[in-house]
Every structure is written in structure tokens, then in C-alpha cells.
Amino acid sequence: MSNSVTNSNDYLQYLLKSWSAKSASELTGLNQLRASAIDSVGTQKLPNKHDEEWRFTDISPLTRLTYPPSQQQSRLQFSDIDKFCLQNTTNRLVFVDNHYSPDLSNVADSQIQILGNLHSLMSSHASTIESHLGHYAKFDHDIFTALNTAFLHDSALIIVPAKTCITEPIHLLFIASQQEVSSYPRSLVVSGPDSKVTLIEDYVSINQSSYITNTVTEIRLAAHAQVEHIRVQRDSKQAHHLANCAVSLADSSQYQSICVSLGARISRYNLEVQLTGENSNCTIDGLTLISGQQLSDTHTSIDHVKPNCTSRQQHKCIVDGTAHAVFNGKIKVRPQAQQTNSSQSSRNLLLSNTAKVDTKPQLEIFADDVKCAHGATVGQLDSEEIFYLESRGLSKTTARNLLTYAFAADVINRIPVASLKQQLEQIVLNQTQGI
Amino acid sequence: MIDKNSTTLLSIKNLHASINTTEILNGINLTVKSGEIHAIMGLNGSGKSTLAKVLAGHSAYEVTAGTIEFEGKDLLALPPEERARAGLFLGFQYPIEIPGVANTQFLRLAYNTIQAQRGKDELDPLEFDDFVREKMKLLDMKPDFLDRSVNEGFSGGEKKRNEILQMALLEPKLSILDETDSGLDIDALKIVANGVNQIAHKDNAIILVTHYQRLLDHIVPDFVHVMQAGRIVMTGDKKLAMELETRGYDWINADQRLATGVNA
Amino acid sequence: MSAVLQSLVNQPYKHGFVTDIESDVAPKGLNEDTIRLISAKKNEPEWLLSFRLDAYRKWVTMSEPDWQNVHYSKIDYQDISYYSAPKPKNKLASMDEVDPELLRTFEKLGVPMHERAALAGVAVDVIFDSVSVATTYKQKLAEVGIIFCSISEAVHNHPELVKKYLGSVVPVGDNFFAALNSAVFTDGSFCFIPKGVKCPMDLSTYFRINTEGSGQFERTLVIAEEGASVSYLEGCTAPQFDTNQLHAAVVELIALDNANIKYSTVQNWYAGDENGIGGIYNFVTKRGLAKGVNSRISWTQIETGAAITWKYPSCILRGDNSVGEFYSVAVTNNFQQADTGTKMIHIGKNTRSTIISKGISAGHSNSSYRGLVRITPTADGARNYSQCDSMLIGDQCGAHTFPYIQVQNNTAKVEHEASTSKIGEDQLFYLSQRGIGAEEAVSMIINGFCKEVFQQLPMEFAVEATKLLSFKLEGSVG
């Protein structure tokens, strides 16, 4: 372990120094972006619990984890990662400790899509990359986005040309194999007009070690584009996972997100969706399933900028042990966004008497002709439902397990990729049966 | 019932109306006399419901040409509430829900407003309660319905009955019932039709706007008009409705020569 | 139709006149000497002066909160006069000796100061600028052991009670405005309902700010002993000035075992003009401690006035089976800003709370609901239900909902629902098709929207609130 630093400024300085030591020459086209991100890091501080956006999530332990950026040293074989791969997904980009691994990756048909490591596609697609990268995930007010941008190196790039429908899901597999390192995965998805793509963003670890993952994902949907985005965070239970995802929707586009959060000691996921085109719509489902001493924080913001858009959101948390789940969901309707139709629900299940949940669904409405509603519930399993199952001969434990599983399955069942759905069902089943 | 000596209630001449610059009514001519029951039939989108709303004065529609006279007065010059007070009633296709406003409070306010207009006595809450309960029997309605909020959580059938109850209370001269039969099962349809038949008499008139024949089995019209693309393309008696039921609306298109357009 | 709506919301403020009365006003500015001056003018005991100085010393170290969703230019706390009182000609022996100018003022405001002319059985304590000028029905209440008087009087006549409870629910350093109030409060109402007594009439306080440039810092303390119950009403108005005036009150309620306190407010401070000039800054801390088992505290508020409202009447549910309630209607128009809601802190077992909040925004105004429901680890079987609905009139206003739900007990059940809607053109058309005029239709829809809250108000207030609301929104709907 590196020398320990105690305050936030020292910590950021330390991180920056570790960056300067790295060669930056490979990404000439992006040096400008990285340089301004570095400047921005210099002007920001790590948030603490006095910041409204971080009041329930204490990330001060981070300053004691001065993990250097991960170096390329992977000797992983396909057999090591086989268990993470999905059947019927021939499109797979694999990053090990955020270093692109062409040997483990597989790209089915490069004729219909542009898919690969941003680093190697930079020369051929510079203008697309430059006009999108860093345009949605802004770093001025987010230290973690700034750090990620400063450390920009290998990144997943998906460009779906206009009128192209990619039938095979694309699996972005981010594997952590080293301990006590920081890695900065980055993804950019640009889907053209009338295109369609399904994307699986998957964070896994080889062993249960401690490391920091700080990821940024940007997704742009052109008019009439459709993107299904499934995000699975199954990091090591010792890891720290910090993530930002920014999505921008043009006219009549559709974004569907399903986010499953299972791993990490402390995790934070910020999802910002901007409906910047008329008649666009988004559906966001989330499931947080945590136990032990885990803390999982999900912050979402759905920003209705233009009229006639719809959004629907459901977030579910199942919390056991002394774990702590946080949900903060903001729906903003700007003055010109008339005819917005938006609904949001936060449902939380506490399984132990030491588990804790903080939920804060928010509406900020500036247009009058809108329909917006949100709801939140926190509670235990319904005793009437348990009784009903018992009266049909099930034991109390079985009844509870069944209902807990059903609570989670509601989200899992929405996943359109059968192989992934089965994997997650098994994980959820194992976890809910252990209760 | 048709009576040569009865007075003209409604006279529509060359009515054109549009919504957001799209023309929906395209030259309607129609005369309704007291004592008459008219049915206006047509496919969805033919303009039947628009005609109903234009008559009631809905602000979303703009009248671009033509005239409407109600008892010889210019109806188009009046705001919606004045039309209602003059005796024109619209039974809505989709009665709106008004949370928190008790049905009885709403009914009494509407009733007393129109009574006052007619120079008649207003009723206090107790008198009104007796009066409205009597009328509710006509439609086989449960008393608890008075305490519920206006149309909130009502079934489709309850909403439609509530419309006819208002018609019974307000005693309009001309009632336009927009798709009153939609969403009603056969028993509810009979109750509603029976209610309408009891309200109808020689001094008032009814326009039934409907897609199907089924309501007309129970309320027999004197005239049946068929609308298409914003105009009345055919007029006949109750047999025309049956003809439409068996042969479908396409039959009209197949035989446009019959479309003389204007009624008697 | 919007024109009718518009003309419906914009009615002039009826209480904007100034009473010409000679007042004793302290020089502007705040320091320890100001506090000593206030304390000396009120001939206070030493312990109260130290209470004030303690609060002041805390206040100078604190900064104004900035998390709320309201925007205003900085308040200059040295440009406010912290004491203003109408000069009494001499000590009053009875209500008949009250300055006739004051009597006329309150008559004009519809507040009965003559017991014979009073609303059927409501006792009133009247606060004019900084001091209590009259309390009605004192004698009658004393017969059943109820103490109802100004807090200054209570300090002298019942020091043991005041000393015991003052600051026990809202500590002097609780927040910036509460600390300021604790340092400089000048008067307010005191009410003590002894064990087993059900207060035979509604008690009420009427607040009036009159002097330009003065702040109003009143302090209210209501104590209901075991098995006691009381319904308390509060009303407020102020004249129209182009400057903003600060109102920073503190209200503390204490309910012991099986006691029941119902506190209702109709707040109609001057809200500023249609351009947002002038109006009261209303920064209020209200908190009730449901200390005993089975106790109940219920807040009902109709907030229609003030340029800025910052107010979160709260309940600390400490006693097992205690109940907290919050019913609120907040109406904002023109450039008003309201950030209001509640906190329900569940500590005792089987505690229950209900929150019903209705926000109506018109003009350029912004209305926010901000509420906290916290279930602590000890609150087994706690229940909360919250419902927050907003209605927007026009497209220049905003409605915001910020509920904070914190649960640390898995036997708790918390439910929150919120919705935003507008007065539907279709609703208005439906009512007008039945002959009902636009104004009446709008007032019907709004009263329907607020019904669950109005039902909580005592009868006289309910009528008043309904009138106030339709009056307030006249001109904004159509």
C-alpha cells in the first residue's frame, strides 16, 4: 500500500502526480480534453457529507486508499473469464483493469457497426469521437468525472450508423484483476438516426480484493434511435465503485435502462438522462441488492427539456445486514416541456433490523400542462402475503424467500438478454435464499 | 315525435369548424324542432363529437363559417355557461373527474344556477337532497353516489348515468348525448335509455350522437343523419340506422348518389 | 380561458393599511446591548437574559441557511429594529381601555377583541408589532386552571413553567432563525392546559406587524399536561410596505401522556406587490414534542401570504403510540416563494404520522414541499403516510417536491405519493357546460383539491380559509 494521505486535497494531488508519470503522448487528439480535466481536478474538492448530493454517502475512506492507476500486466486466459461471458453474445469488448484486451474480445461483424477500443479507432473516427466524447458527462462540477477524463486511456467505443439495427447485444466486460489499484473505465456510445442497439455494461472482478473503479459512460441517441442499456455492477465486495453515466436523447428516440447493483463496499451511480428532443422517452429500472456492510447509492436525474416526452422510472432496493441503500431520483420539467408525462417509484425492502435506507424522490416542475407523479415506500414483506403462502403449505422461510425473490425478479425480468437474465436470476436467488 | 306545428329549437346553417387549423366540420346543415329525437351516426373521425362540442362552445374549436341559432338567438355569441343556462345540454362522451368536489355540491350548484336563470326558486341543501334522490331512482343509482367526488373512480356506466341524472335535473330544451351508449353493458344501456325516454317530451328535443344502432333499439329516433368527413351525407328515419347496422358504413360510399345531404 | 384565470388570481391585499399609533421603537441594530435593552424594557429576570445572550452568542457564529429553494437579497440584520410597541397611555384595567385606534385596527381585520362581540367562544391573544396588547376570556379560562396570556406575563407570573419548557423543544442554537428569535423575541402567547382539562374553547393568537423597518420575533409556548387537549389558532397580517420585513417566530408545543394539541395557522402576511416589491420574509421554526404515550400533535396551515415562506412545522414522536399530523395548503402568486413542509421524527414504538400537503402556484411564483420522515432504530412498528399534490396555474410558475425518507427500522412502513397537475381546461368546460361560471368553477376545483386540509380546520377558520383562497386566486384562472 502506498503512503497514506489524510485530506481530500492531498489525495487529489497524489492522484494527479501519478498521472503525470504516465506517458500522455498516445492520445494527441484528446490531450486538450485531458488537460482541461486535469485543470478542473485542481479546482475541485472531494465531496463530503455537507454537500447535499452526498449527504448520505460518506466517501472519506477513499482518501485513505491511495491506489495508483492500474498498469497493464494481465495474463488472463479465456478460461479465466469464461464464466462472465454470455451465450449468444458474439460482440464482446473486454477490458482488464481498464486495459483493452483484443485477445479476449470478439467483434462479430465490423461491417455494420464500429466497435472497439477508442484508442485504436481514434485516427479513423476522430471527428465523431471529438464531437461526442466529454460532451454529455461534464466534469466541471463532478470530481469523479474530472478524474476519469484526466486518466482517459483505453475506452469502449460503439458507433451505430444511421438506419442500422444491431441484433446481437454488445457486451462491455470490465474485469478487475489487480488489487489496490485505481482504474478509470470509459465508454462512448453514439447511435445514429433510426438505429437500434442493445448494450450490456458489466463490471466484474476475478477475486474479492480491494480496488477503486471510477467509470464514465456517455450515450447519445440521434432521432428515432433506440438504445437498451443494461448495467450490471458485480464488483468485489471490498471494492469502491464510482460511476457516472450521461445520456442525451434527440427527437423521438427511446432509451431503456436496467441497472443492477450487487457488488462493492461503497458504490455510487449517477445516471443523468436529458430528453433534449420532442417525443423522446425513457424507461429506467433499477435494482440494488446489498447485505453485510455495503453502501449503495443511486442518484438519477431525468431532465425533461422538450415537450411531449415521457419517462417512467422504478427503483427497488433490498437491504440486509447493516447495509445502507440510498436513492435520490430527480425529475425536472423545464418551462417549455409541456405535455410531459413522468412517473417514478422508489420501493424499498428492509430485511434486517440494522439495515437502513434513505430515499429522496424529487419533482421540480416548471411547466403547467404536465402529468408527474412519484411514490416511495419503505417496509418489510407484506405479512398478509406471507400468511397466504403459509396457508398453502409453505414454510415461513420459504414464503419470505419467495416474496423477496419476486420483489427483485420484477426488475430482472425486464432484461431482454436471456443468458444474462438467467445469470442474474441465479445470483438473486442465491442471495435471497441465504436470508 | 314529428309535429308540423312545433317550434324550431336549433338551426345550423353551413357550419364549418376547425381545430388547430385542421377543418373538421365542413358545411353542416341541420334543423331540430321541439319534440324531435335526432340520431347522428358516423364512423370515428367523421366529426360527430366535434359537432357536439362546437354546439356546447368548447374553446378548442374555431367556427370558421356558418351560423347556429338556438330558439332564434345567435348561439355562437354565447360562452359555454350561457348556452347551458339557455337550455342546451351536452352529455359528455368522457365525463371528466373532479377530485374533492362532492357530486351533491356540484349538482346543486348547477341546478340552482339554472333555476335562478329561469326565475325559479333555488333549493337549499335539504330540499335539494329530497329532489335529487327522487330523480336518482329513475336511473337506479345508489345514494352513496351523492357523497363521492364528481365522476372520480366512477365506472363507465356510473359516469354515463351521472350525465343523464344531470339532464334530468337541469331539464334542458335541447340535449346532445355524445356516445352515451359507449361503455355500457346491456342492463345499464336499458336503464339509461329508459331514463332518457322519460325525460323526453313534446317541448324538448334530443340529439343522439352514436356509432352503433344498439342505443336506437331503445330510444327510437325520428330522424337519422349520417356524417362523413364533416358533413351530413344522408338523412332518413330509423330504418336508415338498421340499414347501416346490417350493411356497414361502406355501403354509403358505394352509393353516394343517395347522398342528398340536407334533411327535411 | 386563461384570461379569466389570470384575472381571478390578482386581487389586491385587503390588510395593507397602516395604523397611526404612537410606538416605542428601539433603534436599529443588533448587539448584546440591544438584547439587554429588550430584557430591561420587559423587566425580565436574570435567567431569561442569560438565555437570550446564550442564543445571541450562538447566533453570531451561525450562518444563514442556503439549502432552501428560495432566492432573496441578503438581509441586513443591523438594519432592523428589534423592538416596537404601541405606547400605552397607562396600565390597562380592562379591554375597554385598549387604545380605540388599536381596537379599530383589529375590527377592520375582523379580529374580535371585545369578548361580547367575539366569535362564538374563541379566546384571542393579540400581538401588535412586538407586544401582546390584549388577551380575551382570560378569567373564564382561569376557572378551569388554564393559563392563557402573553409570554411576557407568563415570565413574571409563572416563571417555573416558562423556565422548564422554553427552549426544550427548539434549543436556542437549533438553527439560524431560531437562535435569532431566542435572542430577541419580544412577546408571544403562552398557554398551559393542566392535567385532565379539555380546553372549553379554541384559543387563538392574532399577529399584526405595523411599524415599517421593525422585525417581528414572537415566541409561542403551548403545554398540554397528561390527558389535556387544546385547539389553537393563529392568524397574521401586515401593512403594505415597499421594504421587506423579517418575521422569525418560534413555536414550541409539548404534549404529555394522552394529551392532544391541534395547532392551526392561517398566514396572510403581506406578500409584496405584483412585481415582487415588498412583503414579509417569513422564517419560522415550529416544532411539537409528542413526549408522552398516546399523545397527538396536529399542525394545519393555510399559507397564502409572505414574500418568502420558510417553515417546517415538525413533530418529534417520542412517546409510544404518539401521533403526528401535518396538513398544509400553500398558495403562491406573483413573485412569492414558499419552501415549506414538515419533519416527522419517529422515536417511540408504534408511532404514526400523516402528511397531506397541497401546493398551488400561480403567476411567477415557486412553491416547494420539503419534508423529512425519519424512522429511528427504536421506532418499532412506526407508520407514515405522505401525500403531496401540486397544482400549477399558468406556465411561469414552478412546483417542487423534495421528500426525504430515512428509515432505520425494518418494522416500519413508510409511504409517500406525490403528483402534479393543472386545472384542466376540460374540467372548466365540463362545469361551464352545466351553467357554472368560470370563477365559481375555479374556486370549486381548488377547494376540491384542498378539501382534505380544509376539513382539518376549526369551523370559523375553514370558512375564512375558503374565502381567502378564492380571493387570493381570483384573476389567475380561466
Closest chain A residue to C69, measured at CA: A364
Contact C432 B81 (CB under 8 A): yes
Residue C222, pLDDT > 60, answer yes
Find chain C residues with C-beta within 8 A of A52's C-beta.
67
What's B17's domain CATH number? 3.40.50.300
User: Please, which pLDDT band fits residue C147 given cuts at 50, 70 and 90?
Assistant: very high
User: In Å, what is the CA distance from A161 to each residue of A128, A164, A176, A189, A191?
Assistant: 11, 6, 31, 11, 7
Contact C440 B79 (CB under 8 A): no
Residue C361, pLDDT > 60, answer yes
> What pLDDT, on a 0 to 100 scale, did the predictor assign at position C11?
58
> What pLDDT, on a 0 to 100 scale, did the predictor assign at position A134?
93
Lowest-confidence segment of A211-215, B154-158, C14-18, C360-364 by average pLDDT:
C14-18
Lookup: cell for A275: 430528453
User: In Å, what is the CA distance from B173 to each residue of B88, B108, B204, C160, C410?
Assistant: 6, 19, 4, 75, 63
Residue A1, pLDDT > 50, answer no
Boundary-marking domain end, from A234, A254, A277:
A277
Residue B256, pLDDT > 70, answer no
Nearest-neighbour CA in chain B from C451: distance (Å): 6
Highest mean pLDDT among A302-316, C98-112, C386-400: A302-316
Contact B166 C1 (CB under 8 A): no
Interfacial B residues in 45-64 facing C (CB < 8 Å): 56-60
CB of C431 within 8 Å of a chain B CB? The answer is: yes
Nearest alpha-carbon partner for A329 in A280, A266, A372, A265: A372
CA distance linking residue A58 with residue C159, whole number of Å: 45
Give the tens place of pLDDT for each residue, A282-298: 999 999 999 999 999 99
Average pLDDT, chain C: 84
Give the tens place of pLDDT for each residue, A40-83: 988 888 888 888 889 889 888 888 888 888 888 768 888 888 88
Give the tens place of pLDDT for each residue, B183-197: 788 888 888 899 999
Boundary-marking domain end, from A244, A277, A310:
A277
Nearest-neighbour CA in chain B from C407: distance (Å): 32
User: In Å, what is the CA distance from A393 to each residue of A387, A407, A434, C35, C122?
Assistant: 10, 21, 21, 73, 61
CB of A278 within 8 Å of a chain C CB? The answer is: no
Residue B2 counted as domain residue: no
Find chain C residues with C-beta within 8 A of A347's C-beta.
none
> What pLDDT, on a 0 to 100 scale, did the predictor assign at position C8?
44
Lowest-confidence segment of A129-133, B25-29, C83-87, C170-174 by average pLDDT:
C83-87
User: In Å, what is the CA distance from A249 to each residue of A201, A226, A303, A328, C93?
Assistant: 19, 10, 10, 21, 74
Residue A337 counted as domain residue: no
Residue B186 counted as domain residue: yes
> What pLDDT, on a 0 to 100 scale, did the predictor assign at position C472?
64
Task: Name which of A368, A373, A377 is nearest C394 (Cβ-Cβ).
Answer: A368
Same domain, A109 and A252: yes
Nearest alpha-carbon partner for C350 in C411, C415, C405, C416: C411
> What pLDDT, on a 0 to 100 scale, did the predictor assign at position A335?
87
Task: Name which of C407, C416, C422 is nearest A356 (Cβ-Cβ).
Answer: C407
Find chain B residues with C-beta within 8 A of C444's C-beta.
98, 101, 105-106, 109
Task: Name which of B60, B84, B101 is nearest C444 (Cβ-Cβ).
Answer: B101
What is the amino acid identity at position C288? Answer: G
Residue B75, pLDDT > 60, answer yes
> What pLDDT, on a 0 to 100 scale, did the predictor assign at position C185?
92
Residue A403 counted as domain residue: yes
Find chain B residues with C-beta within 8 A of C433's C-beta.
56-57, 80-81, 83-84, 89-90, 92
Residue B106 counted as domain residue: no
Give the domain extent around A107. 8-277
CB of B79 within 8 Å of a chain C CB? The answer is: yes
Contact B113 C452 (CB under 8 A): no
Lowest-confidence segment of A262-271, B95-104, C148-157, C381-390 by average pLDDT:
B95-104
Same domain, A233 and A89: yes
Residues of chain C above pLDDT 90, percent: 44
Find chain C residues with C-beta within 8 A of A377's C-beta.
413-416
Give the domain extent around B177. 8-93+173-260
Boundary-marking domain end, from A250, A277, A304:
A277
Which residue numbers of C have CB closer than 8 Å to A's CBs? 67, 375, 377, 390, 392-422
Closest chain C residue to A323, measured at CA: C408
On whether the CB atoms of residues C233 and C458 are closer than 8 A, the answer is yes
Same domain, A65 and A193: yes
Nearest-neighbour CA in chain C from A376: distance (Å): 5
Give the tens place of pLDDT for each residue, B153-204: 888 888 999 999 999 999 999 999 999 888 788 888 888 899 999 999 999 9
CB of C440 within 8 Å of a chain B CB? The answer is: yes
Give the tens place of pLDDT for each residue, C458-474: 766 676 667 666 666 65
Q: Which residue has the higher pLDDT, B263 or C294?
A: C294
Give the tens place of pLDDT for each residue, C209-219: 666 767 788 89
Contact C395 A369 (CB under 8 A): yes
Find chain B residues with C-beta within 8 A of C429's C-beta.
56, 58-59, 80
CB of B65 within 8 Å of a chain C CB? The answer is: no
Nearest-neighbour CA in chain C from B218: distance (Å): 26
- Inspect the structure and tell me whether chains B and C have 3 or more CB pairs less than 8 Å apart: yes
B vs C, Cβ pairs < 8 A, gives 75
Q: Which residue has the higher pLDDT, C426 or C262?
A: C262
Residues counted in chain B: 264
Residue C142, pLDDT > 50, answer yes
**For chain B, what is the total number of helices (H) and then of strands (E)?**
8, 12
Task: Please tell me the total count of domains within chain A.
Answer: 2
- pTM strictly above 0.90: no
Lowest-confidence segment of B22-31, B225-234, C208-217 by average pLDDT:
C208-217
Give the tens place of pLDDT for each residue, B78-121: 988 899 999 999 999 888 888 778 888 889 888 988 888 888 88
Nearest-neighbour CA in chain A from C67: distance (Å): 8
Residue A321 counted as domain residue: no
- DSSP secondary structure code for residue A45 in this structure: -
Lowest-confidence segment of A324-328, A383-387, B58-62, C227-231 by average pLDDT:
A383-387
Residue B102 counted as domain residue: no
Nearest-neighbour CA in chain B from C439: distance (Å): 11
Average pLDDT, chain B: 88
> What pLDDT, on a 0 to 100 scale, did the predictor assign at position B260?
46
CA distance linking residue A55 with residue A58, whole number of Å: 7
The subunits that touch chain B, with at least 3 C-beta pairs less than 8 Å apart, are C
> What pLDDT, on a 0 to 100 scale, did the predictor assign at position C112?
55
Lowest-confidence segment of A186-200, C95-109, C269-283 by average pLDDT:
C95-109
Same domain, A169 and A37: yes
Interfacial B residues in 205-264 facing C (CB < 8 Å): none
Q: Do the interacting molecules here have an ipTM over 0.90?
A: no
Contact C433 B89 (CB under 8 A): yes
User: Please, which pLDDT band fits residue C133 given cuts at 50, 70 and 90?
Assistant: low
Nearest-neighbour CA in chain C from B89: distance (Å): 7
Residue range C137-142: mean pLDDT, rounded: 83
CB of B153 within 8 Å of a chain C CB? The answer is: no
> What pLDDT, on a 0 to 100 scale, did the predictor assign at position B251?
80
Residue A176 counted as domain residue: yes
Find chain C residues with C-beta within 8 A of A371's C-beta.
419-421
Task: Name which of B92, B110, B149 is nearest C436 (Cβ-Cβ).
Answer: B110
> What pLDDT, on a 0 to 100 scale, did the predictor assign at position C456?
84
Closest chain C residue to B115, measured at CA: C435
Residue C403, pLDDT > 50, answer yes
Residue A318 counted as domain residue: no
Contact C449 B100 (CB under 8 A): yes
> What pLDDT, on a 0 to 100 scale, did the predictor assign at position B98?
81
Same domain, A401 and A252: no
Contact A357 C411 (CB under 8 A): no
What is the amino acid identity at position C131? Answer: V
Lowest-confidence segment of A13-27, A294-308, C362-376 by average pLDDT:
A13-27
Nearest-neighbour CA in chain B from C194: distance (Å): 39
How remote is the C-alpha of A229 from its chain's centroid? 10
Residue B38 counted as domain residue: yes
The subunits that touch chain A, with at least 3 C-beta pairs less than 8 Å apart, are C
Task: Please tell me the total count of domains within chain B.
Answer: 1
CA distance linking residue B56 with residue B66, whole number of Å: 16
Q: Report the SS3 class of residue B144.
A: helix
> What pLDDT, on a 0 to 100 scale, did the predictor assign at position B47?
93
> What pLDDT, on a 0 to 100 scale, did the predictor assign at position C347?
97
CA distance linking residue C422 with residue C109, whole number of Å: 33
